[in-house]
Amino acid sequence: MTIEQRLLGRTGAEVSVLGYGAMELRGSPVGPAIDDEEAGRLLNEVLDSGINLIDTSIDYGRSEELIGRFLSGRRDDYFLASKCGCIAGDVPPPPPAAPGERRRNPHDFRPQNVRAGVEQSLRRLKTDHLDLVQVHVSPSRAQLEEDQTIETMTALRDEGKVRFLGMSGTLPNLPDHIAMDVFDVFQIPYSVVQREHEDLITDAVNAGAGTLIRGGAARGAPAEDKDWSRGPIGLREGEGERRWTDSEIDDLLDGMSRIEFVLRFTITHPGLSSTIVGTSSLDHLRSNVAIAEKGPLPDDLYAEAKKRFPLAEA
């Protein structure tokens, strides 16, 4: 069996329906502990398994350096996506968060920082171009215009340092981002317990863009090795668990693991190009690949799941 590939919108690129998210390579104390050689084995197995899309960011600590060190010799084997707006240089510690909120790194979308960040990523990744650079953390259209972010990204594309422009977008700003008609790809949070952006995925595709889905497995279902109490990103604490419990979906899984159900539900969305799943574990990677190779859910289970997890406001 092999992992299905889908068209990434108007980019024309064919990407594996399962992508690899490199956030888990940022290392401790903010992420899992992983030494360099382990990271190298993991990254090479990512490509050997049939995954051909890797998503990273300046905000992900050492991930860019590790990708550059271990995969630069295989650069033609994968579609490489990173972010802009992250502060160039060493990643600063995020400021304290308010109760119930996640800590978030500061961002700067003005030309000097966007350019410095992309050029830093190129050096760390040991490549002469990024296939995709995505604006991080979904700033408003007004801020993008004030900071001349799009003009800077377009200049970097014209210089050959970037091939395609993307937005890591969420409500409330995502509809405006789609309407701007400048982004080739949108990265959007989505899972069976977080369907708020479901129709916007379709809207993005109808506008000609490719879609990368995040959160399609990592916080999609309760599991012993997750901090499920925090719930999917973008939902208030405990909301994801409540939705899962209320659905009584476990009664329909018939031996299918929760993670298989959640990941295959995400893949079943007809507008999805790829879902980005991160891990620092070879065992988890192999399990995710095996699930992705099974493809979409059966039609009847997918239809019933959508009934049991109705669209709701976050």
pTM of the complete model: 0.92
Q: In 10 A of CB 234, how many CB atoms?
A: 17
Residue 83, helix vs strand vs coil: strand
Residue 278, helix vs strand vs coil: strand
CA distance linking residue 64 with residue 57, whole number of Å: 7
Output 224 or 279, whichever has higher pLDDT: 279
CA distance linking residue 148 with residue 153, whole number of Å: 9
Q: Is the pLDDT of residue 175 over 90?
A: yes
| Cross-strand bridge partners of residue 214 | 189, 276
User: What local confidence, expressed as pLDDT, does residue 228 receive?
Assistant: 45
Q: List, by residue number, the catalytic residues.
A: 60
CA distance linking residue 271 with residue 34, whole number of Å: 34
CA distance linking residue 156 with residue 161, whole number of Å: 5
User: How would residue 236 be classed by pLDDT, with cut points 50, 70 and 90?
Assistant: confident
CA distance linking residue 27 with residue 35, whole number of Å: 8
pLDDT tens digits for range 8-62: 999 999 999 999 999 999 877 777 889 999 999 999 999 999 999 999 999 998 9
User: How would residue 161 be classed by pLDDT, with cut points 50, 70 and 90?
Assistant: very high
Beta strands in 33-74 (DSSP E): 53-55
User: What local confidence, expressed as pLDDT, does residue 305 receive?
Assistant: 96
